[in-house]
Structure 1
């Protein structure tokens, strides 16, 4: 009977365990932690989103990976976790934002929209026949001239942040944000901080592996072009490290050519496979 009781708590989406836990919500959070990270940074000028959007295969079209989404002219979101679940929440947020404009003739508030979405998320932890959403969102935008940033997790809890991350590597990335964030960050500084924070967890990526968007009062939601992302990548000090690594690889290749042996190359290839 004890085993059956444990399975009931484990499988039930709306049952508390004796120690006050809802296991399905915790499993949904675990699904989010396995996703590629997305960073949100609030700056003095607006909100910045930086997301890892690296293809899992060389045959995958990078443009098909959607991590950042426009919700309204003044609103955007970044996602982590199950893509299909995130898209359902994003569509819900878009409909609510558009409905607010039609009904009241004004843009919806960032906090208002976030709480509408999190209320919907919370319902799926309380009703039978459903499961929690296996996705988390960062919702940011301009509210009466002020930049605001919120996070919504699978439990349906809305929290406002100055800078935060959802997805994998949270401990390393959040630690970097907490040590480097300041009140006077510019929009460019925010992009560089987001990129550097991702590098605190994983340093083997290229500018093309990133998706970056900004939201300001003047320009609204804007997808940052690849050229600007590459400039911020270099300003964050990541290009120099990469160049040094390339130089070492070139030296190794030269040594292998002189020795007429592929032994070192084979070992390097094995190490790279382990890193991936």
Structure 2
């Protein structure tokens, strides 16, 4: 079998034990705008860069962070259309669970459902892997949970995590500065610092999307609040 056959086949391992199309899909996620998740002593921060290429774009319509239930949200790096499909699926799953069980879907259960969908798309005919990396976080049983999902359907829990462009350097930064007892405010500053590394040092508030999850639920930070964080850092 030729090398090209392995490159284009979704379900055939090459002699090195690799699924090349899954690798290519993961590469798509690793080239996306950076996204960071940080667990604090009383909640969770999800922050991401919104790349707005034109001044004519209506920035508030660009969504890289989606609420999927009252206590849960997802953010991503990679392909926006793929994220739209996954986030809508997650929202429907949460709504169906609430209707049937009259309760809130567990965060790890939701993460498993999304990762199962991503894994199915690596071994099914007529589809391709999702070209993105996802951070899914939520609040349950008095604590925050954070999971990283990739195109292969891998699922790992984290205290703090970065995906997207230069994720390794951002992970090293988080490892140096993360502390389990971080306040929510300190975690927002840390997330902004992680995203602004390298080429993103001068990002304005309009290019950030930041969400906070705690025992009261999920909420987004508005532009004015993000601007105040940036001003305090300068």
Higher relative contact order (CA 8 A, sep 6+): 2
Which of 55, 58, 64 is equivalent to 1:58?
Answer: 55
TM-score by length of 1: 0.82
For the Cα contact (< 8 Å) 1:37–1:52, is it kept in 2? Answer: yes
Partner residue of 2:19?
22
Partner residue of 2:155?
158
Partner residue of 2:169?
172
Any idea what the Cα deviations from partners look like across 1:188-247, whole Å, max 9, x if unmatched?
A: 1110000011122321211221111101102x1101122221222233x3x2xxxxxxxx
Q: Shift of residue 5 of structure 1?
A: 1.7
Tell me which moved more, 56-65 or 6-15. 56-65
Distance in 2 between residues matched to 1:101 and 1:121, nearest whole Å: 23
SS at the partner of 1:79?
strand
For the Cα contact (< 8 Å) 1:86–1:136, is it kept in 2? Answer: no
Partner residue of 2:85?
88
For the Cα contact (< 8 Å) 2:40–2:183, is it kept in 1? Answer: yes
For the Cα contact (< 8 Å) 2:135–2:148, is it kept in 1? Answer: yes
Distance in 2 between residues matched to 1:28 and 1:233, nearest whole Å: 33
Partner residue of 1:116?
113
Distance in 1 between residues matched to 2:174 and 2:231, nearest whole Å: 19
SS at the partner of 1:173?
helix
For the Cα contact (< 8 Å) 2:30–2:133, is it kept in 1? Answer: no
In angstroms, what is the RMSD of aligned CA positions?
1.1
Distance in 2 between residues matched to 1:211 and 1:120, nearest whole Å: 26
Partner residue of 1:139?
136
Distance in 1 between residues matched to 2:53 and 2:86, nearest whole Å: 24
Distance in 2 between residues matched to 1:30 and 1:71, nearest whole Å: 26
Q: Shift of residue 34 of structure 1?
A: 1.8
Runs of 4+ in 1 over 2 A off after TM superposition: none
Q: Decide which structure has greater helix share.
A: 1
For structure 1, the residue ranges without an aligned partner over 5 or more in a row are 240-276
Question: Are 1:215 and 2:229 an aligned pair?
Answer: no
Distance in 1 between residues matched to 2:228 and 2:202, nearest whole Å: 17
